[in-house]
Amino acid sequence: MTDSFPLAVLLFDYAMGLIMWTLIGRTAMSFFQPENSDFFFMKAFVRLTNPLLRLWRPITPQFLLPVFVPLYVAWFFYMGRFYLMPWLTGYSVMGMLSFPLESEIAATIYAIFN
The per-residue pLDDT of the chain, averaged, comes to: 85
Percentage of the residues of the chain whose pLDDT score is greater than 70: 87
Residues 31, 67: contact at Cβ < 8 Å? yes
Q: Are 1 and 108 in contact (CB under 8 A)?
A: no
Average pLDDT, integer, range 86-107: 69
CB 71 within 8 A of CB 24: yes
Flag whether pLDDT at 60 surpasses 70.
yes
pLDDT band at 97 (very low <50, low <70, confident <90, very high): very low
The pLDDT, as a whole number, for residue 93 is 55
Q: Is the confidence at residue 68, as pLDDT, over 50?
A: yes
Q: How many domains does the chain have?
A: 1
How far apart, in Å, are the Cα atoms of 34 and each of 13, 22, 45, 76?
A: 30, 16, 12, 24
- Dump pLDDT digits (tens) for 21-59: 999 999 999 999 998 999 998 999 899 999 999 999 999
pLDDT value of residue 63: 95
Q: How far is CA 33 from its chain centroid?
A: 20
pLDDT value at 69 more than 80: yes
pLDDT at 94 over 60: no
Give me the domain span that covers residue 24. Answer: 2-113
